[in-house]
Amino acid sequence: MVALVDAVKSGEIPASEVAVVISDKADAAGLAKAKERGVETVVITRERAEGTLADTRVSARKTREEHDAEVIAELQKRGVELVCLAGYMRLLSPLFVQAFPDRIVNIHPSLLPAYPGLNVHERVLAAGEKMSGCTVHYVNEDLDAGSVILQREVEVKDGDTVETLSTRILEQEHKLYVEAVRGIVLRRITKSELAKLPERIRYLHEVLSVGHDTSMRGEGVSLREALRRTDYENRRQKFGAADLIPIIETHRYYIQEWIMYSEDKHTSGGWWIEEKPLLIGNLKSRETISFDSTEQAIAEYVIRELDFWADLNSGRKM
């Protein structure tokens, strides 16, 4: 939880805010840490309030559905769009999952679907596994069974104990959770926002999102393959760099993302972007083009880089 809050505060997870941290335990350490960082906290215990137990047939503890309904109400009251679980050791009710479909994420200390549930490290060591890790996944009504978002492997070393293995995996959990949520935020654009955009720009946003999903987020699929998936070759004549500028102006995290992409991807014949002075250049011809605004430079760079990979896909000589 702390890693996510700090990443939002620093801008590593862009265009976001942590609306609230909720716990069922008033003494949970995470509540104090959230308050220290200026985040609102709410405690919703699993025990019924005094005065509701006159009927001896009523349990002193709320049902799972009753407790979840209270949590849902607090989240919806604040307009929460993404629910991130941290140390939440209880299955969510169907009521909760249906209230936030495909908008609840969790992190688990194994390479799911292997080793769901509790006592993961003990089971991994007992089985003699050579590799373990952690998984960020969407939450459904079953135990640790939702779609995988990201995973990271951690080697199981000779002589590892539950404590040493769990410590190394926890270090990666903090990084992976931030990376996964960052990726979700970068991909997210609301249906109402999309509806306001011309069709060609909606498609262009889809292309950029696939790029972030794959090449930029380290999921092992190249931008070249992302263009195949979105049929870029047959649709690229419908838009140009000018169509990108409105997207960049309203989703400014694209600027840093594509600058980072430029720094990482240096393919002969492709393009790169430089901030000082503001220009883009071709890695083969050494042609350079200067710009007055960052938005214009990013837009032109992206279109030229997409076209470069589309040309390679189609077999055109570069």
Express each pLDDT in 90-133 by its tens digit.
899 999 999 999 899 999 999 999 999 999 999 999 999 999 99
Averaged pLDDT for residues 249-267: 72
Q: Decide if 224 contacts 312 (C-beta within 8 A).
A: yes
Name the band, by pLDDT with cuts 50, 70 and 90, for residue 51. low
Averaged pLDDT for residues 161-175: 96
Asked if the model's pLDDT at residue 232 lies above 70, the reply is: yes
Share of the chain above pLDDT 70, in %: 82
Whole-number Å distance between alpha carbons of 135 and 149: 7
Averaged pLDDT for residues 62-69: 94
Q: Which domains does the chain have, with CATH numbers?
A: 2-187 (3.40.50.170), 191-314 (no CATH)
Alpha-carbon 219 to chain mean position:
12
Q: What is the pLDDT of residue 140?
A: 93
Name the band, by pLDDT with cuts 50, 70 and 90, for residue 297. very high
Whole-number Å distance between alpha carbons of 94 and 116: 19
251 in active site: no
Averaged pLDDT for residues 81-88: 94
Whole-number Å distance between alpha carbons of 297 and 302: 9
The dihedrals phi and psi of 208, each to the nearest 5 degrees, come to -65, -40
State the alpha helices, DSSP H only, in the chain.
2-10, 29-36, 64-77, 94-99, 120-126, 162-187, 191-195, 199-211, 223-229, 232-235, 241-250, 253-264, 294-314
User: Which distant-in-sequence residues (6+ apart) come within 8 Å of 75 by Cβ?
Assistant: 19, 20, 22, 83, 99, 100
User: How many CA atoms lie less than 13 Å away from 277 in the CB half-sphere?
Assistant: 7
Q: Which position among 67, 108, 137, 212 bears the catalytic label?
A: 108
User: How many CA atoms lie less than 13 Å away from 116 in the CB half-sphere?
Assistant: 13
Asked if the model's pLDDT at residue 214 lies above 50, the reply is: no
Whole-number Å distance between alpha carbons of 71 and 114: 30
Structure tokens at 278: 């503001």
Structure tokens at 149: 């978002």
Question: What is the amino acid identity at position 100?
Answer: F
Asked if the model's pLDDT at residue 45 lies above 90, the reply is: yes
Whole-number Å distance between alpha carbons of 248 and 296: 9
Strand order in the sheet with 288-290: 271-274, 279-282, 288-290
DSSP tag of 214: I
Q: What is the pLDDT of residue 272?
A: 87
Find tokens 């989703």 and name the residue. Answer: 251
Average pLDDT, the chain: 85
